[in-house]
Amino acid sequence: MTEPLITVIVPIYNVERYLGPCIDSILAQTYENLEILLLDDGSADGSGTLCDEYREKDSRIRVIHKENTGQADTRNLGIDLASGEYLACVDSDDLIAAEYIERLYQMAVSAGAGMSVCGFRPFADEGKSVLGPELLKKKGDSRHRAVRVMTACEALESLFYKKEITASPCYRLFHRDVFAGLRFEKGRIFEDIGLMYLAVEAAGKIACTSQVLYYYRQRKGSTMHHVQFTGRRLDRIWFSEKILEFAEKKYPRLLPAARSRFFTSCFLVLAELPRGKGYRDIYRMLRTNLKKYGRLVVRDPKASAKTRLTAALACFSVPAARLAGVILRRTTSMS
The pLDDT value given to residue 334: 47
Q: Which of 186, 221, 256 is the last residue of a domain?
A: 221
Tell me which of 206, 221, 236 is where a domain ends: 221
At residue 219 the predicted structure's pLDDT band, cuts being 50, 70 and 90, is: confident
Is the domain of 213 the same as that of 241?
no
Q: Is the pLDDT of residue 254 over 80?
A: yes
pTM of the complete model beyond 0.75: yes
Measure CA 155 to chain center.
15
State whether 172 and 32 are in the same domain.
yes
Q: Residue 321's Cα: distance from chain center in Å?
A: 26
Average pLDDT on 179-189 reads 94
The predicted pLDDT at position 229 comes to 85
Average pLDDT score, the chain: 91
Determine, yes or no, domain membership for 46.
yes
The percent of residues above 70 in pLDDT, for the chain, comes to 89
Q: 193 and 271 share a domain?
A: no
pLDDT tens, residue by residue, 111-168? 999 999 999 999 877 644 455 455 445 555 556 689 999 999 999 999 999 999 999 9
Q: Which residue range forms the structural domain that includes residue 258?
A: 227-331
